[in-house]
Structures are given as structure tokens and as C-alpha cells.
Structure 1
């Protein structure tokens, strides 16, 4: 097995799909996990020079799903685990069904934590590899009408930096990709198409994935994609939480697309 081996979760569309394309072009064998993975895999397999691609339809919000993904590796050393699976949820916290709230927490927090623990343990044992975690600049801001999602991304941002420090004396790098609003299926699935952020122009997922992949391979700790997002994240670091929450309301409140 001369090719390196990469795992990409949340790989059906958007940033995850673009990660797959980059890994395929760079000569990685791939294990991809998400909804509609067979469609994504078929697109990649049609390109010349692509290595082995295995598609796994699995619920990574569950322990069973995580174990299924690990079993699918067949104990092959993982060079690049990319924890990209995530779920959004718009509208007011108290107006949302608790089952949907739990779905966001189980996918973004519980599932990603379990996945990183499983795959990260194997990576540490080899003392070699690059780990990527898809956080978000949303983690810097209390998310009015997007409260659970923003809180989950704050958790992932923090976990990424902590894990990187714990692995400082190893040959393993941990990179946190922190994009802003990106042109994916995210806002439709989160019921946020009637919001300002859901209706305005967004970043290209191919650009976001490319910057994230390059930062990961260089061993960088984090990357905020796009100049506008860099400015927003810098401002968020020096702005009181209450002011940030009020500002976020203007972009994520249902019906704000009309204003």
C-alpha cells in the first residue's frame, strides 16, 4: 500500500465533497462517510488516476456508527483523518423540537468527539499523521436563532486547540478549519433560507476546502478562510458576548432576509 490513506466524514456535498476531490487528486486512498456517499464516490471514481475509494453510509452521531467506520478501515494506518461531519439548526432555541436539537449535539459534539478519540488513538500509536477538525467562526459568537450550532462549534474549536497542545511533542498535527458562511446545503437543511446569512452570497466550498487541506498538510494549528471571515473573527475576539449576540440576531433571525 504505497498510497496514503484519508478518511473524510460529512462527505456527500459541500466542503466534505471538496476535501474528497483534493485527496483523490493528491493520490490518497479514501474512506468517505456521510449521506449519499455512493453518489459522491461515483463522481470521484470517474476521474483518471484516482486510488481506492470506499463509501460508507453511516450515522456518526451514534457509537455504533463510529465503530462501523473504524471497522471499515480494516486496521489500515490512517494518515489523514478529517472530521468534517456537522449539522446546523436555525430558529429560536425554545421553538425547536428537542429531538432536532439533540441531533445537532449528537452529530457535532458527541459523534465528533467519539470519532476523534477512536481515530486519534490509532494515529497517536503510529506517531504520524495530520488531523483536521472542521470548526467554524460561528464558534466565536453566541448564535441567536442558531444557538446550539454555534455552541457546538465553540466546543470543537476549543477541543481542536487543546488536542493540538496535548500532541505537541509528537509527529502529529491538529488543524482547526474555521470557515464562515459557505455555499453548501447547510442553510437549507438548517431551515435558514429566510435569513440574511442564508440568502446572501457565500464562500466557495472548493476554496474553503483547499485552504483547509493546505493548512493541515503544513501542520498549521488553524485557518480562518476568507478575508471577511478573518476580520469578523478578529473583531469577535475583542467584542463583549452580549454585543456579539445582538449583532448575530440581524443575520440569523427568521425573516431577516427581507430587511
Structure 2
């Protein structure tokens, strides 16, 4: 489990000062892609990148994306907004074509789109669980294939994959969601090791419970975790962007409490963590 004290991991193209190759003050602004950019952590990732001098391609499936795009333009970032349903293969490919259509190399990509679903596995509609897999896992792999092939061919680039501290524990009453994040954690670290000598880095972002629409959309308002105090998405995003641009392999992002929870999880048996998760995520546990 990583925290702020983890050493920076860099490849040949990485910069220890958190910059991206080609992003100098006299050159053109670098371009970054952010998925799931209309709300929460994704919105804050886009804002953080804009504040650091990036132009943006932002993607989400809802109307709020245009509002975010307007905010980014007001911050001085040339912004392309692409409304896509990334659960569909052809929509992932259409997003990549929109990136290519900018005519500019992609310096950074935050693969952040995701969804959760709370409740007992035997009671949840299988199509809802499939949506979690299609968006969190399948679309990330498919989009990463496009992004990383392009970056590796140029010998530079930074990728951030939004995992979660949920990746480290069995997700009682969030079985498929936690499993999807475990996949992303393993995927990001494996692929990042493969690309490390190419000048391309992959960072796993591991937030804890964060103040977004996630728990409401996952039907978890009546759970202890859903009703609890949560981390600031702007703080999570800022830490994630800094880790990505520095080439770190992973970052547990958020408050001191989240980092302590993640550290504690490294020494507990899975069975204990599964029972702890049940107390936090069981429907009605907020009462």
C-alpha cells in the first residue's frame, strides 16, 4: 500500500519535478484526456490538469459534461467535450477517434470513468452488475490499449487509472465493484511495469470514500459508509495528478484517515476485512 512517503518511480521520460515532456513554457500546451469528467473526482482531475497548463479532452455520458467543459475553457484550457457511453465498445473507439482528431499528441490520460452498485449479490439485477464490469473494467482496458500503444510509440506519456482502496479488500455488499477495482489495481501496476523502460508511466489512484455522487448512484445512502464523512474530491484529484506527473506507481489519495485505513488493511486477513466491509456497506447499517 502506498502513501505520500512512497519513492517516485520514473522511466526514461519521467521528470522528478512533476512535469510532462513537451510541456515547457515556450512550447504548445500539452493535451490530456479525462474520462468520467462530469462529476466528482473526474471533474477535479480535469480542473487540476487545466490549472497545470493542459488542454483537455473530457468525456462522460451526461449533460453536466458541457458545464464542466465551459468551466475548463474559462480557466484557459482549450477543451473538447465528448459525450459517450463507455460501456459500449464502439463508444470507446469513438472517443479515441475524437482524441486523434485534435491532431495533438496525448501527454496524459486519466482513465477515471466508473460506477458502483451496492447490495446483496443474489438480489442485484445481473445487468446492473454487468454495467459495473463493462464500465470499470472492459472500457478501461480497451481505452488503455489505444492510449498506451500511442504513447509507447512516441516514447512518452503519463496515465492515471482510478482504482480504490476497495481494491485491497473483499467487498461484502459491493462484491462486483470491489472486484472490479482489484482488477484495475493489478492491471495498472502490471502494465506500468511493462512500459517503465519506454518513457511511459502508469499510476494507480487509490481513493477512499470521497464526497461525490458515487454512493447515491450505487443505492448506498442508507449504509454506514454512505452516510459517513468523506474526503474532498479536489484533494484526491490533486494528489492523483501530482503522482501521475511524477511517474509514481500508485498513490493512496485523500485524508490522513484514508491513508491510515489503507495501511491497516495491509496487515489484516481477508476474512477480517470482509467482515469489516460488511459493517460499513450492509444496507440499513446507517441506522
- Write the deviation string for residues 175-218 of structure 1: whole angstroms up to 9, x where unpaired: 11100000000001000000000001000000000000011111
Of 191, 212, 226 in structure 1, the residue corresponding to residue 240 of structure 2 is: 212
State the distance in 1 between where 2:210 and 2:55 align. 26
Which residue is 2:281 aligned to? Answer: 252
Alignment TM-score, normalising by the size of structure 1? 0.96
Q: Does residue 192 of structure 1 match 2:220?
A: yes
Which residue is 1:158 aligned to? Answer: 186
- Write the deviation string for residues 85-136 of structure 1: whole angstroms up to 9, x where unpaired: 0000000111101110000000001111111111111111111011100000
State the distance in 2 between where 1:112 and 1:62 align. 11
For structure 1, which segment, 224-233 or 135-144, has the greater mean C-alpha deviation from structure 2 after superposition? 224-233
- Write the deviation string for residues 150-173 of structure 1: whole angstroms up to 9, x where unpaired: 000000000011011111212111
Q: Does residue 172 of structure 1 match 2:197?
A: no
- Point out which structure has higher relative CO (alpha carbons under 8 A, 6+ apart): 2
State the distance in 2 between where 1:68 and 1:9 align. 13
Which residue is 2:20 aligned to? Answer: none
Which residue is 2:72 aligned to? Answer: 44
**1:24 Cα deviation from its structure 2 partner:** 1.3
**Equivalent residues, number:** 256
State the distance in 1 between where 2:53 and 2:275 align. 46
State the distance in 1 between where 2:244 and 2:107 align. 12
- Write the deviation string for residues 34-53 of structure 1: whole angstroms up to 9, x where unpaired: 02311211222233xx1310
**1:255 Cα deviation from its structure 2 partner:** 0.5
Of 154, 161, 164 in structure 2, the residue corresponding to residue 126 of structure 1 is: 154
Alignment TM-score, normalising by the size of structure 2? 0.87
- Structure 2 unaligned segments of length 5 or more: list them: 1-26
SS at match of 2:110: strand
Of 63, 84, 109 in structure 2, the residue corresponding to residue 58 of structure 1 is: 84
Q: Does residue 231 of structure 1 match 2:254?
A: no
Which residue is 2:5 aligned to? Answer: none
- Structure 1 unaligned segments of length 5 or more: list them: none
Q: Does residue 16 of structure 1 match 2:16?
A: no
Which residue is 1:104 aligned to? Answer: 132
Q: Does residue 78 of structure 1 match 2:110?
A: no
